[in-house]
Amino acid sequence: MKVLFLDTVHPILSERLTTAGMTCIDGTKQPPIEAIRSHRDADGIVLRSRIRVDAELLDLLPALQFICRSGAGLENIDLASASARNIAVFNSPEGNRDAVGEHALGMLLSLMNLL
């Protein structure tokens, strides 16, 4: 299985996918559209929020089986188009949970101290 990384994510993901027998391709060194055109046979893509995944982009990846969104939101992915093509979509909604809680607590302390 071939997984194309279109955005930088924590290296442990590619390490674990490689250990599981998948081939990980680093497409972060070139514009996303060039990486996609160079790896049309990718079974999966990994991205963050900067790349819009729409029907046009999905047409360029006929073998695509899954989209992995590193982060909580899925607003940059056309879920209807992915579903129509039987492409599974995953995200990681709890990845920033601790940081958000710490930030909220810090803001409350600042507010209480009139900072």
Residue 53 has pLDDT above 90, yes or no: yes
- Write the pLDDT tens digit of every residue in 60-103: 999 999 999 998 889 999 999 999 999 999 998 776 778 888 99
DSSP classification of residue 53 = B
* Cβ-based neighbours of 65, under 8 Å, separated by 6 or more: 1, 43, 44, 87, 88
Q: Domain range spanning residue 98? A: 2-112
Question: Would the pTM count as exceeding 0.75?
Answer: yes
108: domain CATH number is: 3.40.50.720
Q: How many structural domains are present in the chain?
A: 1
pLDDT at position 94 is: 74
